[in-house]
A and B are shown apart, each in its own frame.
Chain A
Amino acid sequence: MSRPRVKPPQQRGSDPISASALAHQPETLRAFLKLYGTLWSHGVLDQATKELARIRNARTVNCAICKSIRFEGARKEGLSEALVDEIRDGYETSALSPRQKAVLRFTDTFLSAEPEVDEAQRRELLAHFTPAELVELTAGLALFMGFSKIAVALGGMPESLPVTVQPTPDWPSAGD
């Protein structure tokens, strides 16, 4: 485990996010949980697609915590561990669908040093997703990447963790 640069406070919550060092800022933590709950449970894009992007990001940024989590909603929508295993380098030749591969390509572009979508990729994305779904996917990637990097930058990261299925983030009053 890497040495923590900021340790979690004594007063903290029970889920992995609320139990982390983020609890030092209760107001931003609450606003983030609302944002994250809105993204996951009050969106227009299916949860399995967001989970594909989240896990691809977790593997690229190498956040052990993010890599170990599976959200229940995506599981129920059919994102099995066998499919998750395909989200690796070499996914282009995997059994994933063209839509799923488009999500992984989009994620890789987002995480690259030149986060720019060319004309061919735009056409491919618009063939699979509505504009609102693409906004949601891109905002989701911004949060997945940002908060993976926070976990890495604050230290205290274990080498690996067992896979655990967790409730999908929600903020019941967020509205749809």
Chain B
Amino acid sequence: MSWLPASGPGRDDFERVFALRPNLFEAWREFASLFFEKRLVDPVVLELCRLRIAQLHGARHPLSLRTPEARAAGLDEAKLAALDAWWRSPGFSELERSCLRFAEQFVTDASGLSDDEARPVVAALGDAGTVAFVEALAVFDGFGRFCRMLDVEPAGAGA
């Protein structure tokens, strides 16, 4: 459970923490849900980046979740088992590799992102897709840190 000495209603610790600011949580949900629901970027690519960022942060709540859109698109646990060393696994496509490389650099030092790292992503996703991709990365990075800072428990860890 989060170290905050108060909580609101919710199905898991993340919801109970964020529910302390209800109108903000509602607006966040509206924004954050667009990327998968509207398929602004391939859901498998997005889910791989979401979970890789959660791994980098050691953020237990996002690591405990699976996005139905990515499942439906064929992403399984066998592939996710290789995610923490994706660069050594042949099971990731060129686009997935380019996006994972971009995502890792975004998290560790966005200003260190090189043109060589950005070019294949922009070429594959186009301008609108790249914008959606970096916005999604911002959500994954920012709210992965949110979970670590407030010590948000994984989903299913009790009420």
Residues of A within 8 Å of B27, CB to CB, are 31, 34-35, 38-39, 171, 174
Contact string against B for A residues 100-139, beta-carbon threshold 8 Å, 1 for contact and 0 otherwise: 0000001001100101110000100010001110111011
Does A116 contact B148, Cβ atoms closer than 8 Å?
A: yes
Cβ of B131 within 8 Å of any chain A Cβ, yes or no, is: yes
Residues of B within 8 Å of A139, CB to CB, are 18, 21, 24, 28, 143, 146
Stretch at the interface among A66-74, A76-84, A85-93, A142-150: A142-150
Central interface residue in B30, B102, B134, by most chain A CB within 10 Å: B134
Residues of B within 8 Å of A145, CB to CB, are 138, 141-142, 145
Chain B contacts with A in 98-115, Cβ cutoff 8 A:
102, 106, 108, 110-111, 113, 115
Contact A146 to B138, CB < 8 A, known contacts A34-B30, A116-B148, A131-B4: yes
Residues of B within 8 Å of A152, CB to CB, are 110-111, 113
> Which range contains the number of A residues in contact with the other chain?
35 or more
B113 to chain A, nearest CB (A): 5
B56 to chain A, nearest CB (A): 9
A15 and B82 CA atoms in complex are apart in Å by 43
Chain B contacts with A in 111-131, Cβ cutoff 8 A:
111, 113, 115, 118-119, 122, 127-128, 130-131
Does B127 contact A153, Cβ atoms closer than 8 Å?
A: no
Can you name 24 A-B residue pairings with CB atoms under 8 Å? Answer: A5-B119, A6-B127, A6-B131, A24-B130, A28-B35, A35-B30, A35-B31, A42-B24, A115-B149, A122-B3, A131-B4, A131-B7, A135-B4, A142-B142, A142-B143, A142-B145, A145-B138, A145-B145, A149-B141, A150-B134, A153-B118, A153-B134, A154-B134, A171-B27
Residues of chain B at the chain A interface (Cβ within 8 Å): 3-7, 17-18, 20-21, 23-24, 27-28, 30-31, 34-35, 38, 40, 57, 102, 106, 108, 110-111, 113, 115, 118-119, 122, 127-128, 130-132, 134-135, 137-139, 141-143, 145-146, 148-151
Q: A-B pairs with the 10 shortest C-beta distances?
A: A146-B138, A142-B142, A149-B110, A146-B142, A31-B31, A131-B6, A35-B27, A131-B4, A24-B128, A115-B145
